[in-house]
Every structure is written in C-alpha cells, then in structure tokens.
Amino acid sequence: MLSGKTVLIGITGAIAAYKICELIRLFKKNNANVRVVTTPNALNFVTKTTLEALSQNQIYIDQFNIDEYKPEHIALTDEADIFIIAPITANTISKITLGISDNLLTSTYCAFKKPVIIAPCMNTNMWENPAIIENLEILKKRNIKIIEPETGFLACGTEGKGRLANINVIFETAKNILLPKQILKGKKIVITAGGTKENIDAVRYIGNYSSGKMGIALADNAYKLGADVTLISTVDVKKQYKTINVQTAQEMYEAVKHEFNNAHSLIMAAAVSDYRVKNISEHKIKKDGNPLTIELIENPDILKEISKNKKDNQIVIGFCAESQNLIENAKNKIKNKGCDYICANDISKKDIGFSSDYNELYIIDKELNISKIEKTDKQNAALKILEEIYGLCK
C-alpha cells in the first residue's frame, strides 16, 4: 500500500518508546521504507538493535555520521515523505516550538518541510501545563498534526490523560496523509502530453522542445487520485493507465475527439504544432544548392474545437507557454479558446521552462480569477493543479 513512501520516525525519551516497534512493523508490513532517528534518552526505553532489526535500516542518533561525511538532518529530510515524532515528550515539544536544534531529532524537525505528525506522551500534570498547552496551539497553527494522548493508567501510577495514542490511530493518520484521497474516483480524464511532430520528409520534422513531463505528471497524479485516465502522448511511456501514442497534431486531434466523447475532463498539456507541412515528401529531400521552400498550413485548434463542442457537464483545461506578457496572453487565450481553465507558465525562465523538472504556474478560470502555484517539482505542481481545479469543480 505504501510502496515507494519513506517514513521518518522520531523517538524521544518517554516510556512509551517501546510501543513504536509496533508502528515500525505496520509501516514495513505495508511496504514503506522506514528511517528512525532517536534522542539519546529514547534508547533507555528501546534498544538500537531492536529498532534496526525492525526497520531494516541504520538508526540515527548523533548529529553527524562521520562515516558518510554528510549532515544527516538534511539527508533524512530530503528522503522522507513524512516525519512522525512519537512518543514526543514535553521537553521536545518545547524545543521544536522555539526552533531549538540541539540534537539530531530537533535539527531534523527544523529542516523538515513536509507533513509532520506528533504524538505526545507525558504525565497528566505536564500535559495540562500552560506552557505545553500554549506550545501545542502554536504547533497547530503551523499545520503540525497533533494526535492527542489517551486517558488511562499512567507509568507514574496515576490515572489521567497522557498515555500515547493507539498505534493504529497514528498509523492510519499517517497513511491518510501519505495516500491521496480518491477525489477523482468515477471521473474519466483525458490528458495530452509532449510536443507534436509534423513531418517534412522521410527523416525530418517540425517540432518543439516540450518534453511531456508536465502532462505525464498530471496523468500519474490523476490516476493516484482515482481517475480513469487516458494519456494521449507523443512520448512513448508504459503506465498502469491507458496510453495512446501519437505523433502529429492531426493524430492527437482524432484521438482526443474519440476519447473525450465519454469523458468528464480534458487537460491539454501537450504543445501542439500550429502548422503542418502541406506536401510531405515520401523520400528524403536532397540538397541541390538552391533554397528550400516549405509551404505550411494550419493544424486544427484542438483546444478551441473541443471547447466549442463539449457538453455542459464536461470540463476543458488548457495550457499556455508564454515568453512575455504571461497573464495578459493567458487571459486572451481563455477568452478565445472557450475552455474552462488555463494553466500558464513562463518559458523564458530557464529553471521552469521546457524539459525542466520544475514548474511555476498561474491557473486562470473563465471569470479570470487567478491563483498561483509557486515553483515546485512537476509531480507536486500536477497534484496542486488537480486539487485546485477539481476542488472548484466537484
């Protein structure tokens, strides 16, 4: 279930530290890669050998691993998809609230930018201390997921709130964060990707620099969100969902018309050639010392034609890549094409243009409302596009 996910578990010096062995086992059972970082005090309650045997990975305790010559708090944050600190003591809660980074666990937290879950464990009086209450409120405002402790018999011999939450609750909370909700279940989505190629002769073509990465990332994420995906691509890829390989704009147009007929949405992420060669040579054109003139004719405007003929319950999302006047050109395009949304990106920026692994986009709807997706990798940008658009179009 969690194959491909890396879970980072932080363990602090609370007596319930031994219970995290079961949490590690649950993640491993679901094919997650588990990394564990502990405070030195945590090893008073659970052994390093046990944690290494269960996680099948090295356990991290010290600030730097001299053998590998790299700052471990940065290496761990880069790899992990989620950070779970359980049990977390009142001491560590206070440290992370203030940004104190005096050990590997707190340094890792300070550098971690992805989802964080904390599961406190402490004496009832400590749990009810005004400083701890205030610190937890601050962490909530920072979007830290707090799984509150349970009420019961505590190690100090008293009854009250402070027991570590049930391990299954911690696991399910993390799983729900790691696995995207099936918000697109029941929807067929057609997505185009790549740059079309228009033949000149038997060996040459007119094309563009589109790599297809954005369209493929959209298809991958739509599939993960439960959609029935059809990818129409000039890039030949093997996926779990349906893929149709095309080359020319005309081939893409025919495939889109056929697939969109019974689909909910179309996302035109492909860079489609505006023109094609009128008379394609069956053989390679040889040089003869004279200028070569090629006559071009317009290709069908797929986005405009599909938008014009779509049904009331269908959604069409276009893309535009501009090198200047990005917002103005995108607004003009959504008016001219008649689609429901335009995703606009600035190809003049080398770090987010064609073939880059990153993107920065503006999403514009028919009412010309604008939302921005800040620079991020294309997989994450694709997820944000889908969440933005389908959050508005339920």
User: For the domain that residue 93 is a member of, what is the CATH number?
Assistant: 3.40.50.1950
CATH for 236: 3.40.50.10300
- Assigned domain for 139 exists: yes
Give, as one character, the DSSP assignment of residue 328: H
Residue 192 sits in the same domain as residue 172: no
Residues 141 and 69 in one domain: yes
Helices 20-29, 48-55: inter-axial angle, 10-degree rounding? 20
Q: Give pLDDT, residue 205.
A: 96
**311 vs 262: CA distance, rounded Å:** 10
Q: Do the beta carbons of residue 362 and residue 371 sit within 8 Å? A: yes
- Which of residues 178, 197, 227 is at a domain's end? 178
Cα 332 versus chain centre, distance: 29
Distance CA 87, CA 165 (A): 9
pLDDT recorded at residue 145: 95
Starting at the edge strand that comes first in sequence, how are the strands of the sheet with 341-346 ordered?
242-245, 228-233, 188-193, 265-268, 315-322, 341-346, 358-365, 370-377
84: number of Cβ within 10 Å: 27
Cα distances (Å, whole numbers) of residue 175 to 31, 79, 93, 172, 223: 12, 17, 23, 5, 18
The dihedral through the CA atoms of 283, 287, 290, 292 has a sign that is positive
What CA–CA distance (Å, rounded) separates 138 from 148?
15
Catalytic residue among 21, 156, 339, 393: 156
Domain membership of residue 1 (yes or no) is no
Average pLDDT per block of 10 residues along the chain, 394 residues long: 89 95 95 95 95 94 58 73 96 96 93 95 93 96 93 78 92 88 90 96 94 95 93 95 97 98 97 95 93 95 96 95 91 95 88 81 94 88 90 56
Examine the domain organization and report whether 123 and 166 are in the same domain: yes
- Residue carrying the six token digits 């005004």: 130
Instruction: Find the domain containing 153 and state its range.
Output: 6-178
Is position 183 within any domain?
no
Q: Of 145, 178, 211, which closes a domain? A: 178
Cα separation, 239 vs 193, in Å, equals: 14
Angle at 276 between CA 272 and CA 280, to 5 degrees: 140
Query: Which pLDDT belongs to residue 394?
Result: 43
- Quote the pLDDT of residue 322: 87
Indicate the burial class of 236 (C-beta count within 10 angstroms; 0-12, 13-18, 19 or more).
exposed
Q: Is the pTM of this model over 0.75?
A: no
List, in sequence order, every beta strand (DSSP E) within 254-339: 265-268, 275-277, 296-298, 315-322
For position 66, what pLDDT does the model report? 45
**Strand boundaries in 213-356, DSSP class E:** 228-233, 242-245, 265-268, 275-277, 296-298, 315-322, 341-346
Same-domain pairing of 162 and 197: no
Is residue 156 flagged as an active site residue? yes
Question: Same domain for 47 and 105?
Answer: yes
Examine residue 135 and state whether it is found in any structural domain, yes or no.
yes
Give the per-residue pLDDT at 307.
97
**143 and 216 within one domain:** no
Predicted local confidence at residue 65, as pLDDT: 52
Q: Locate tokens 């023109």: which residue?
A: 275
